[in-house]
Amino acid sequence: MKSLSFSLPSLRAAFASGVRAEDVAREALSRAEACNDPAVWISRFEDEEVLARARALDALPKEQRALMPLFGVPFAVKDNIDVVGVPTTAGCPVYAYQPKEDAFVVTRLVAAGAIPIGKTNLDQFATGLVGTRSPLGAPRSVFNHDFISGGSSSGSAVAVAAGIVSFALGTDTAGSGRVPAAFNNIVGLKPSRGLLSTRGVVPACRSLDCVSVFALTVADAGAIFDAAAVFDPADIYARTRMPETPALPSGGFTFAVPRASDLKFFGDDEAARLFEAASERLEELGGRARWIDFSMFEEAAALLYEGPWVAERFAAVGDFIEKHGAEVDPTVRGIVLGARERSAVETFEAMYKLEALKRRAQRLFSEIDLLMVPTAPTIYRVDEVMAEPVKLNSRLGTYTNFMNLLDMAGIAIPAGIREAGPAKGLPFGVTLAAPAFSEARLSAFASAFEAAQGLVPGAPQPQPETDESFIELAVVGAHMSGLPLNHELTSRGAMFVERTKTAPRYRFYALAGGPPFRPGLVRVEDGGAAIELEVWRLPRAAFGSFMAGVPQPLCIGTLDLASGKKVKGFLCEEEGLHGAEEITSFGGWRAFMASKAEKAAS
């Protein structure tokens, strides 16, 4: 099971050979637990609840199981989409509420046999394309944890690319269902507005929002879309799917790309090279390239954040943010509250302009079959985005922001791996787009491109590298992910590496005092045990300031890991053990704290 691909064909073959839905669910839970990026999930269902769903599927008659196109398929849901049993937070803990029913799209997928594993992280209130605007941490590209995952559907994309789930739901208003796909080497389907119901979704711009699908392949994304794309009469923006002819044109096709003077890659020469190669690949498939003036799309894109449509974000969550500003990401707060001054006159003027741009786009698409653009012009490191959160986020929307305003469908697909430059080894993607109701036709083009490209989707095989600009630091207590002092690492740009254990030569204590309550790890010659810990990569430049905050009797020494590796980590001086409680038998700080909580509740 460890090597089982979670692509739909692979799972179908496994089920046909006797593998149970429960077996796949257990493997998905195991992969979720082993994930080396603690910022992927906001909440997960209890293991037993997931397994109970799987057992219920396994107990169905064979004939009924055969009617379920997504039987036993594990999936994740962006945490601005309602799923009963876990809170919806939209990336803002104080906003959290318990939904009374599943979002319509989740209901459809569960009815098709899919099993939800949990809720994934996002840019707060789905406002951003970077994946860093969450108080719960920033998911990273599965190719290099120094780089962003893309947003706002950050956790959803990483969960798929890391092989934890078969597919994930995101949302897409300005590119949130496409940019993270490009940064993680997977497929991101942004359907036409209204084809996937947004009932049960926390709105960003309600008139533009789309539920999106992340999957390993174009075919998988199409199968998930087919299961979920049912008209929802209770969604005021719902539309009925139109019949299509999905096959590639026998006489060839015409695709548009921005002319050279309109293409922007912000110094990313490898992205430019890979986009040119993608254009050549479409030509090899029978396409005729047409280089177009891209200005109409740029003008439409500018309306989304520079025009009055940003007021829709205020209509959605503005009142809440005004009342809870201190708990909201400052960049998100500035964007949403900045919309208060937009006028009705300005809105109507922008609507007129948009209609004129739509007419220009209609004329173009009467002469071409599809548009191909880079999904994102480049990719950035997390520290770069944290330093310039608005400017770099804006750049990432260069080829995405216009699409929902102009009522288009799009599918983001992998298009190569950078071979040089600062982002060497990271994936690049393109998006194929066409007017609304063209999902099947776009999928046919995308499938042909995917087959010709020949990339293995998702994460690469791990290739550890030594980087002298970072120090690996082991933490055993309140600095671990999700615990009270973890911010002392994340605020300094530290990145999670792995969850593991020490070699079996330590004893573990709960020190006197607190809060915050702290453990003490002591190396011994005899009678030691393996203690759970986390390894983080801390920028060397930040190590001094971190060390300055380490109180006696704690110190930083060298720890032996279970693997035989040696890293810097927290140790305790023996004089600090006066009044301490030995907790070695718990095997780690989380287990000890959970035991304390149980005793307090009883």
Q: Which residues pair with 523 in a beta bridge?
A: 506
358 is catalytic: no
Rounded to whole angstroms, how far apart are CA atoms 375 and 414? 9
Question: Do the strands 566-572 and 470-475 form a parallel or antiparallel pair, or are they unpaired?
Answer: parallel
Task: Give ∠ CA 72-73-75 in degrees, rounded to 5.
Answer: 135
Q: What angle do CA 353, 441, 454 make, to 5 degrees?
A: 115
Q: Judging by beta carbons within 10 Å of its beta carbon (0-12, 13-18, 19+), is residue 476 exposed, middle or buried?
A: buried
Annotation says 43 is catalytic: no
Candidates 152, 154, 156, 197; catalytic one: 152
Q: Is 78 a catalytic residue?
A: yes
Query: Which one is catalytic: 43, 166, 176, 443?
Result: 176
Name the phi and psi angles at 425, rounded to 5: 90, -5
Q: Are 65 and 108 in contact (CB under 8 A)?
A: no
Question: Nearest-CA neighbor of 112 among 159, 162, 153, 167?
Answer: 167
Element (H, E) at 334: helix 330-337
Give the strands of the sheet with 532-539, arranged side by side.
495-501, 532-539, 470-475, 566-572, 554-560
Antiparallel, parallel or unpaired: β 287-292 and 253-258: parallel
Classified as helix, coil or strand, 305 is: helix
Q: Please state, in angstroms and rounded to a whole number, the distance separating the CA atoms of residues 280 and 394.
A: 28
Can you tell me whether residue 584 is helix, strand or coil?
helix
Q: How far apart are CA 593 and CA 438, in angstroms?
A: 53
Report how far apart the first and last C-alpha atoms of the chain are (Å, whole number): 39
Element (H, E) at 144: strand 144-148
In the structure encoding, which two tokens stand for residue 335, read together?
Answer: 């964007």
Structure tokens at 395: 């750049």
Query: Which one of 43, 78, 153, 166 is the catalytic residue?
Result: 78
Q: Which residues are catalytic?
A: 78, 152, 176
